[in-house]
Every structure is written in structure tokens, then in C-alpha cells.
Structure 1
Amino acid sequence: MSTLVDQDLFTGTPDRRALLGSRCADCAAHVFPRQDGCPRCTGGRMEDVPLARRGVLWAFTVQGFRPKPPYTGSKEFEPYGVGYVELPGQVIVEARLTEADPEGLRIGMPMVLTWVPFRQEEDGTPVLTYAFAPETQEER
């Protein structure tokens, strides 16, 4: 059994989770994570919406050193990819990437939402966080 880093970031079932964002009922702007007010029009009529599970890589880098506290990830640090993934018609999300080799990434490549280990609870329970992986031919 595993748990998620923050249950409020997600919606759906364990085999079909999605990121949970907000959409402004006044101007249709999307945000992630959810919030009560619209950053575009300052309206207060935000609706919860599941975000797209597929997008395209907008920008990326590789985190080559352990982040400072309050980072609570794995004690065995390994470099990991970080990127912005554009979810079509919605929002650009900052996320971990499953690929850490810059040669395996390119701007505009199709990406799909997935789950990766983040850390372990004291009792050994794995804690997962969201990430985006390069989409395979089979997933298209």
C-alpha cells in the first residue's frame, strides 16, 4: 500500500488519478493547485476541475543537487528532471519528470501523468508524488 504526498492535489481513482485544479466560472482561467480566487480576473467563482493527464513539455532542467529544507524526499538523493508541462487548453504545470537525462527530453514532446516514489513514512509506507513521463507510442 502507498499514500500520496498531498491528497488535495488529486482526484479520481487510484488507477485513473488526475491533478485537481480550479477553473474560473467568470473568465475560464485554469490554475493548479486549486485556489479560491482567479489570478486573471480576480473573480471568486472557482470550480474544481480534473486537469488533463496528457500534455507537452514546455521547458525542463535537471535538479542535480539535494534541495534545501523543507524538502523531505528520499534520503538517497539522485538527480531528477523538472519541467513545465502544458496541459492543452488549461494550464502549464511545474512537475517532476521521470526522465533525468537531458538527451531523453525535448521541448514539445508528448508527456503523460504518472506517479513516482517521493519518500517513505517512518513505518515504511511509500509516499508517491506526481510526475510526467515521455508518452510512448502505445499510450497515444
Structure 2
Amino acid sequence: MTQNMVAPGLVAGEGAGARLLGGKSRGDGRIVFPMPSGPEAERYEEVELAAEGTLWSFTVQRFAPKRPYDGPSGEADFQPYAVGYVELAGQLIVEARLDTADFASLRLGMPMRFTLLPYRRGPDGGEVLTYAFRPVCPNNEEKP
């Protein structure tokens, strides 16, 4: 079984060394996510985004999303999850899944760290991963 990302070109590296890939405009230095593709990509330099940021905004998804969502669906498989915007200082604000089951502990401005999460199973039975951010405790450890 293989391990794949939910979409190509989103992440560089693996495990603790994985980072989101953005694009830095060659014209004005503005950073975007994801890295543009096709002819537009020529206007950008690929950059690894910061692994840590702060929670800017969030909500909890309490029902299965509609198409084109292709993760676990249906009442039996669906588990509520948090999604939010994480500010990567000096770069941009990125939307991401938030890796916590303790929704009540989420606070605006709290430190967050990049991680990869299982999203679904692919046709070959291998894990398909997505990117996320996980809350960081004051002692700089990730919260469970």
C-alpha cells in the first residue's frame, strides 16, 4: 500500500520535515498557496511555508460536506472536525483542517504546528493524506 497526498504539489518532504508549498511572486514578492500550476507557475518561485503559525479563525464541521468533498461520508463514517485559518507570520493566512478533538480548547491566537493527517483510503487501499495544523501547548509540545 502506498501513501499519497490528497492533491499533488501541496507538500514537500515527509513526516516531521513536511512543509506546505507556496509560490512567491517574482514580480512583487507576494506569497500564495497553493503554488500556481500551468503557465501561471512561471511567475512564481516555489517556497516552503512556515511550519508554525497562529490560529486566526475557525469553525467546526458537524455534518458531512457535499460534493466535491471526497473524504469519508455518510452518517456512519463521518466524524466532526475543526477547520480554520492559520496565520503564517510574514507569509499568508492558509485554510486548513485543525487536528484536535477538543474543539472547546481552540482559541484565536493560539500557536499551531503543521502536520499531515489521514484523509481517506485510495483505490489501492493506501492512505491518502491531507495537510492540517495541530495546537501547540505552552511547553512547545503538540496537544493530543
Q: Report the TM range for the smaller structure's normalisation.
A: 0.7 to 0.9
* CA deviation after TM superposition for structure 1 residue 138, in Å: 3.7
**Per-residue deviation, 1:126:** 1.2
1:43-78 deviation per Cα after TM superposition (whole angstroms, max 9, x unaligned): x73111000010000000001110101211024111
CA contact (8 A) 1:11 1:50 kept: yes
Give 1:14 deviation, angstroms. 4.1
* Larger proportion of helix: 2
Distance 2:106 2:82 in 1: 9
**Structure 1 segment 1-140 matched on structure 2, within 5 A:** 1-35=2-36, 37=40, 45-75=43-73, 76-136=77-137, 137-139=139-141
TM-score by length of 2: 0.84
> Aligned residues: percent identity?
48
Partner in structure 2 of residue 41 of structure 1: none
**CA–CA distance in structure 1, aligned partners of residues 9 and 43 of structure 2:** 19
TM-superposed CA distance for 1:5, in Å, is 1.0
TM-superposed CA distance for 1:4, in Å, is 1.4
1:65-103 CA-partner distances (Å, limit 9, x unpaired): 101012110241111000000001001000000124431
Q: Name the aligned partner's letter for residue 67 of structure 1.
A: P
- Between 1:122-131 and 1:51-60, the stretch displaced more is 122-131
TM-score (norm. length: structure 1): 0.87
Q: Which runs of 5+ in 2 are unaligned?
A: none
Q: Which amino acid aligns with 1:45?
A: R
- Compute the RMSD of aligned alpha carbons: 2.0
Letter in 2 for 1:113: F
Runs of 4+ in 1 over 3 A off after TM superposition: none
Aligned length: 135
Distance 1:100 1:133 in 2: 10
Do 1:62 and 1:100's aligned partners in 2 also have CA atoms closer than 8 Å?
Answer: no
